[in-house]
Protein backbone atom coordinates (compact mmCIF):
# COMPACT_ATOMS: atom_id res chain seq x y z
CA UNK A 1 0.00 0.00 0.00
CA UNK A 2 1.39 3.39 -1.06
CA UNK A 3 1.72 6.51 1.07
CA UNK A 4 -0.46 9.38 -0.16
CA UNK A 5 -0.60 13.07 0.69
CA UNK A 6 -2.84 13.48 3.80
CA UNK A 7 -2.05 10.02 5.21
CA UNK A 8 -0.82 9.58 8.76
CA UNK A 9 2.52 7.74 8.86
CA UNK A 10 4.34 6.38 11.89
CA UNK A 11 7.99 7.29 11.28
CA UNK A 12 10.42 5.31 13.43
CA UNK A 13 14.12 5.77 14.08
CA UNK A 14 14.23 2.86 16.56
CA UNK A 15 11.82 0.75 18.64
CA UNK A 16 11.45 3.62 21.14
CA UNK A 17 11.77 6.73 18.92
CA UNK A 18 8.72 7.08 16.71
CA UNK A 19 6.48 9.91 15.59
CA UNK A 20 3.00 10.07 14.10
CA UNK A 21 3.18 12.50 11.19
CA UNK A 22 0.58 13.70 8.68
CA UNK A 23 1.99 13.85 5.16
CA UNK A 24 1.79 17.44 3.85
CA UNK A 25 3.89 17.97 0.77
CA UNK A 26 5.27 21.41 1.70
CA UNK A 27 6.38 20.39 5.20
CA UNK A 28 9.64 19.20 6.63
CA UNK A 29 9.74 16.94 9.72
CA UNK A 30 12.61 17.54 12.16
CA UNK A 31 14.09 14.83 14.39
CA UNK A 32 17.20 14.49 16.58
CA UNK A 33 18.72 12.64 13.60
CA UNK A 34 18.12 15.36 11.00
CA UNK A 35 15.07 16.21 8.94
CA UNK A 36 12.82 14.51 6.39
CA UNK A 37 11.08 16.23 3.47
CA UNK A 38 7.56 14.81 3.67
CA UNK A 39 7.01 15.09 -0.10
CA UNK A 40 9.76 12.46 -0.51
CA UNK A 41 7.55 9.89 1.26
CA UNK A 42 4.61 10.23 -1.15
CA UNK A 43 4.37 7.15 -3.40
CA UNK A 44 6.59 4.95 -1.20
CA UNK A 45 5.20 1.71 0.24
CA UNK A 46 4.18 1.54 3.90
CA UNK A 47 6.85 -0.61 5.56
CA UNK A 48 9.66 0.79 3.44
CA UNK A 49 12.63 2.76 4.79
CA UNK A 50 14.47 5.93 3.83
CA UNK A 51 17.85 7.50 4.57
CA UNK A 52 17.79 11.26 5.26
CA UNK A 53 20.28 14.12 4.74
CA UNK A 54 22.28 13.06 7.84
CA UNK A 55 22.49 9.39 6.81
CA UNK A 56 19.93 8.24 9.40
CA UNK A 57 17.49 5.45 8.52
CA UNK A 58 13.77 5.74 9.23
CA UNK A 59 11.01 3.17 8.69
CA UNK A 60 7.57 4.25 7.50
CA UNK A 61 4.69 2.36 9.14
CA UNK A 62 0.95 2.47 8.60
CA UNK A 63 -0.41 3.48 12.03
CA UNK A 64 -2.63 1.08 13.96
CA UNK A 65 -5.17 2.43 16.53
CA UNK A 66 -2.71 2.08 19.43
CA UNK A 67 -0.19 4.39 17.68
CA UNK A 68 -2.59 7.33 17.72
CA UNK A 69 -2.91 7.31 21.53
CA UNK A 70 0.73 8.42 21.94
CA UNK A 71 -0.05 11.64 20.07
CA UNK A 72 -2.79 12.78 22.51
CA UNK A 73 -1.98 16.06 24.34
CA UNK A 74 -2.89 15.79 28.02
CA UNK A 75 -4.78 18.18 30.27
CA UNK A 76 -5.91 15.27 32.51
CA UNK A 77 -4.87 11.75 33.36
CA UNK A 78 -5.68 9.63 30.28
CA UNK A 79 -6.49 5.99 29.56
CA UNK A 80 -3.68 4.13 27.78
CA UNK A 81 -3.56 1.33 25.21
CA UNK A 82 -3.78 -1.74 27.49
CA UNK A 83 -6.88 -0.50 29.30
CA UNK A 84 -8.45 0.88 26.11
CA UNK A 85 -8.10 -2.52 24.43
CA UNK A 86 -9.91 -4.13 27.36
CA UNK A 87 -12.67 -1.48 27.29
CA UNK A 88 -13.30 -1.94 23.56
CA UNK A 89 -13.72 -5.70 24.03
CA UNK A 90 -15.61 -5.58 27.35
CA UNK A 91 -18.31 -3.22 26.11
CA UNK A 92 -18.44 -4.67 22.58
CA UNK A 93 -17.45 -1.59 20.60
CA UNK A 94 -17.46 -2.04 16.84
CA UNK A 95 -18.59 -0.18 13.75
CA UNK A 96 -22.14 1.23 14.08
CA UNK A 97 -22.37 1.22 17.90
CA UNK A 98 -23.63 4.26 19.84
CA UNK A 99 -21.69 4.89 23.03
CA UNK A 100 -21.70 7.52 25.79
CA UNK A 101 -18.58 8.35 27.78
CA UNK A 102 -18.12 10.63 30.81
CA UNK A 103 -15.74 12.36 31.43
CA UNK A 104 -14.09 13.22 28.20
CA UNK A 105 -10.82 14.27 29.88
CA UNK A 106 -8.20 14.75 27.15
CA UNK A 107 -10.07 12.57 24.67
CA UNK A 108 -7.74 9.58 24.64
CA UNK A 109 -10.52 7.01 25.07
CA UNK A 110 -12.83 9.19 22.90
CA UNK A 111 -10.38 8.87 20.00
CA UNK A 112 -10.27 5.08 20.25
CA UNK A 113 -14.06 4.79 20.57
CA UNK A 114 -14.56 7.04 17.53
CA UNK A 115 -12.07 5.04 15.48
CA UNK A 116 -13.95 1.80 16.16
CA UNK A 117 -17.58 3.03 15.83
CA UNK A 118 -17.06 4.86 12.55
CA UNK A 119 -18.44 5.32 9.95
CA UNK A 120 -22.07 4.81 11.11
CA UNK A 121 -21.77 4.77 14.91
CA UNK A 122 -21.39 7.73 17.27
CA UNK A 123 -19.64 8.74 20.49
CA UNK A 124 -21.43 11.12 22.89
CA UNK A 125 -18.80 12.54 25.19
CA UNK A 126 -19.68 14.50 28.36
CA UNK A 127 -17.40 16.49 30.65
CA UNK A 128 -18.19 18.89 33.47
CA UNK A 129 -15.16 21.08 32.59
CA UNK A 130 -15.11 23.03 29.36
CA UNK A 131 -11.33 23.51 29.48
CA UNK A 132 -10.78 19.73 29.43
CA UNK A 133 -13.11 19.29 26.48
CA UNK A 134 -11.30 22.03 24.56
CA UNK A 135 -8.10 19.96 24.68
CA UNK A 136 -10.04 16.81 23.76
CA UNK A 137 -11.72 18.53 20.80
CA UNK A 138 -8.32 19.63 19.48
CA UNK A 139 -6.97 16.09 19.81
CA UNK A 140 -10.00 14.61 18.03
CA UNK A 141 -9.84 17.21 15.24
CA UNK A 142 -6.10 16.59 14.76
CA UNK A 143 -6.83 12.87 14.37
CA UNK A 144 -9.67 13.63 11.88
CA UNK A 145 -12.33 11.91 13.99
CA UNK A 146 -14.56 14.92 14.76
CA UNK A 147 -17.35 13.68 12.44
CA UNK A 148 -18.04 10.78 14.79
CA UNK A 149 -18.15 12.57 18.18
CA UNK A 150 -20.66 14.90 19.91
CA UNK A 151 -19.06 16.81 22.79
CA UNK A 152 -21.28 18.10 25.60
CA UNK A 153 -20.21 20.18 28.60
CA UNK A 154 -22.37 18.91 31.48
CA UNK A 155 -22.32 17.28 34.88
CA UNK A 156 -23.14 13.70 33.91
CA UNK A 157 -25.15 13.33 37.14
CA UNK A 158 -27.74 15.61 35.48
CA UNK A 159 -28.42 12.95 32.85
CA UNK A 160 -27.64 12.22 29.21
CA UNK A 161 -29.66 13.34 26.15
CA UNK A 162 -29.40 10.00 24.33
CA UNK A 163 -31.60 6.92 24.67
CA UNK A 164 -31.09 3.27 23.76
CA UNK A 165 -27.31 3.50 23.51
CA UNK A 166 -25.28 0.28 23.32
CA UNK A 167 -22.77 1.15 26.03
CA UNK A 168 -21.74 3.75 28.61
CA UNK A 169 -18.24 4.22 30.02
CA UNK A 170 -17.65 6.27 33.19
CA UNK A 171 -14.11 7.50 33.89
CA UNK A 172 -14.74 10.07 36.64
CA UNK A 173 -14.40 10.13 40.44
CA UNK A 174 -18.05 9.53 41.51
CA UNK A 175 -19.61 7.06 39.04
CA UNK A 176 -22.32 5.95 41.53
CA UNK A 177 -23.91 9.42 41.13
CA UNK A 178 -24.35 8.74 37.41
CA UNK A 179 -25.55 5.13 37.43
CA UNK A 180 -29.28 6.04 37.44
CA UNK A 181 -28.76 8.30 34.39
CA UNK A 182 -26.76 5.52 32.74
CA UNK A 183 -29.60 3.04 33.32
CA UNK A 184 -32.12 5.42 31.67
CA UNK A 185 -29.96 5.96 28.56
CA UNK A 186 -28.88 2.35 27.94
CA UNK A 187 -30.83 -0.09 25.80
CA UNK A 188 -31.98 -3.26 27.55
CA UNK A 189 -28.90 -5.47 27.93
CA UNK A 190 -26.61 -2.47 27.27
CA UNK A 191 -23.23 -2.48 28.97
CA UNK A 192 -22.03 -0.10 31.69
CA UNK A 193 -18.29 0.06 32.37
CA UNK A 194 -16.88 2.01 35.31
CA UNK A 195 -13.12 2.76 35.47
CA UNK A 196 -11.91 3.83 38.94
CA UNK A 197 -8.60 3.74 40.81
CA UNK A 198 -9.54 2.74 44.40
CA UNK A 199 -11.24 -0.19 46.15
CA UNK A 200 -13.65 2.19 47.91
CA UNK A 201 -14.87 3.50 44.55
CA UNK A 202 -15.25 -0.08 43.25
CA UNK A 203 -17.30 -0.95 46.34
CA UNK A 204 -19.60 2.07 45.96
CA UNK A 205 -20.03 1.50 42.22
CA UNK A 206 -20.96 -2.18 42.64
CA UNK A 207 -23.42 -1.42 45.46
CA UNK A 208 -25.20 1.16 43.31
CA UNK A 209 -25.14 -1.03 40.18
CA UNK A 210 -26.76 -3.93 42.05
CA UNK A 211 -29.48 -1.63 43.44
CA UNK A 212 -30.09 -0.18 39.95
CA UNK A 213 -30.70 -3.52 38.19
CA UNK A 214 -27.33 -4.11 36.58
CA UNK A 215 -26.49 -7.83 36.33
CA UNK A 216 -23.58 -10.07 35.29
CA UNK A 217 -21.30 -7.75 37.25
CA UNK A 218 -17.54 -8.33 36.95
CA UNK A 219 -14.72 -6.38 38.61
CA UNK A 220 -11.05 -6.77 37.64
CA UNK A 221 -7.84 -5.02 36.67
CA UNK A 222 -5.52 -5.54 33.71
CA UNK A 223 -1.76 -5.72 34.16
CA UNK A 224 0.69 -5.81 31.27
CA UNK A 225 4.17 -7.17 31.96
CA UNK A 226 6.60 -6.50 29.10
CA UNK A 227 9.57 -8.68 28.23
CA UNK A 228 12.93 -7.47 26.94
CA UNK A 229 13.37 -8.53 23.31
CA UNK A 230 17.16 -9.04 23.29
CA UNK A 231 17.67 -12.50 21.80
CA UNK A 232 19.37 -14.80 24.30
CA UNK A 233 18.46 -12.54 27.24
CA UNK A 234 14.68 -12.45 27.14
CA UNK A 235 13.13 -11.83 30.58
CA UNK A 236 10.59 -9.47 32.19
CA UNK A 237 11.62 -5.81 32.16
CA UNK A 238 12.69 -4.47 35.57
CA UNK A 239 10.38 -1.40 35.51
CA UNK A 240 6.71 -1.58 34.71
CA UNK A 241 3.40 0.21 35.22
CA UNK A 242 2.11 -1.75 38.20
CA UNK A 243 -1.36 -0.26 38.38
CA UNK A 244 -3.72 2.03 36.46
CA UNK A 245 -7.34 1.50 37.59
CA UNK A 246 -10.03 -1.12 38.21
CA UNK A 247 -12.85 -2.06 35.85
CA UNK A 248 -16.43 -2.75 36.94
CA UNK A 249 -18.67 -4.01 34.13
CA UNK A 250 -22.40 -4.88 34.21
CA UNK A 251 -25.41 -5.29 31.92
CA UNK A 252 -28.71 -3.39 32.18
CA UNK A 253 -31.38 -5.93 33.14
CA UNK A 254 -35.14 -5.32 33.00
CA UNK A 255 -36.71 -7.16 35.95
CA UNK A 256 -40.14 -8.80 35.64
CA UNK A 257 -42.87 -6.33 36.70
CA UNK A 258 -44.75 -7.54 39.80
C1 LIG B 1 -9.50 11.10 34.24
S2 LIG B 1 -10.36 12.24 33.26
C3 LIG B 1 -10.95 11.24 31.93
C4 LIG B 1 -9.85 10.83 30.97
C5 LIG B 1 -10.34 10.28 29.66
N6 LIG B 1 -11.04 9.02 29.84
C7 LIG B 1 -9.20 10.09 28.68
O8 LIG B 1 -8.87 8.93 28.32
O9 LIG B 1 -8.62 11.10 28.22
C10 LIG B 1 -11.80 12.53 34.20
C11 LIG B 1 -12.70 13.62 33.61
O12 LIG B 1 -13.97 13.53 34.25
C13 LIG B 1 -14.51 14.84 34.33
N14 LIG B 1 -15.59 14.80 35.33
C15 LIG B 1 -15.50 14.70 36.69
N16 LIG B 1 -16.71 14.65 37.25
C17 LIG B 1 -17.61 14.72 36.22
C18 LIG B 1 -19.04 14.74 36.15
N19 LIG B 1 -19.79 14.66 37.25
N20 LIG B 1 -19.62 14.83 34.93
C21 LIG B 1 -18.88 14.92 33.80
N22 LIG B 1 -17.52 14.92 33.81
C23 LIG B 1 -16.90 14.82 34.99
C24 LIG B 1 -13.30 15.69 34.70
O25 LIG B 1 -13.52 17.05 34.39
C26 LIG B 1 -12.19 15.02 33.86
O27 LIG B 1 -12.03 15.70 32.64
Domains parsed from the chain with CATH numbers:
8-63 (3.10.330.20), 67-252 (3.40.50.150)
| Alpha helices by DSSP H, the chain | 65-69, 81-90, 108-117, 130-142, 179-185, 199-211
**pLDDT band at 15, cuts 50/70/90?**
confident
Confidence at residue 58, expressed as pLDDT on a 0 to 100 scale = 96
Nearest CA to ligand 1 atom 3: 105
Q: Contact at 8 Å (CB) between 61 and 12?
A: yes
Residues with CB under 6 A from ligand 1: 76-79, 102-109, 126-129, 132, 155-157, 171-173
CA distance 96 to 77: 28
Per-residue pLDDT tens for 140-185?
Answer: 999 999 999 999 999 999 999 999 999 999 999 999 999 999 999 9
pLDDT attached to residue 16: 84
Centroid of ligand 1 to alpha carbon of 1 (angstroms): 39
With contact defined as beta carbons under 8 Å apart, do 143 and 175 qualify? no
Å from CA of 154 to ligand 1 middle: 10
- Give the sheet arrangement for strand 246-252, strand by strand: 149-153, 122-127, 98-102, 165-170, 186-196, 246-252, 214-220
Pocket test for ligand 1, best of 128, 151, 178 (most atoms within 8 A of CB): 128
Contact at 8 Å (CB) between 176 and 205? yes
Helix or strand run (H / E) with residue 252? strand 246-252
- In whole angstroms, give the CA distance from residue 101 to residue 110: 8
Residue 14: what pLDDT?
Answer: 86
For the chain, give the mean pLDDT.
96
d(CA 19, CA 33) in angstroms, rounded, equals 13
Pocket test for ligand 1, best of 78, 82, 105 (most atoms within 8 A of CB): 105
pTM: 0.95
Per-residue pLDDT reduced to its tens digit, 34-63: 999 999 999 999 999 999 989 999 999 999
Contact assessment for residue 120 and residue 148, using Cβ atoms and an 8 Å cutoff:
no
How many A from CA of 196 to the centre of ligand 1? Answer: 11
Average pLDDT over residues 217-241: 96
CA distance 117 to 120: 7
Amino acid sequence: MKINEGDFVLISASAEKKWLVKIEKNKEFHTHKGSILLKDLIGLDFGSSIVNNKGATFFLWKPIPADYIDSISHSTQIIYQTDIAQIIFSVGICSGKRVIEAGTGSGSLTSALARYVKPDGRVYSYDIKEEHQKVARKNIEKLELADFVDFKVRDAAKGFDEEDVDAIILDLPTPWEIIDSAYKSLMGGGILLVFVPTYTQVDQAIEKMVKSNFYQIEAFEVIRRDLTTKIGAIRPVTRMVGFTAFFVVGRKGIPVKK
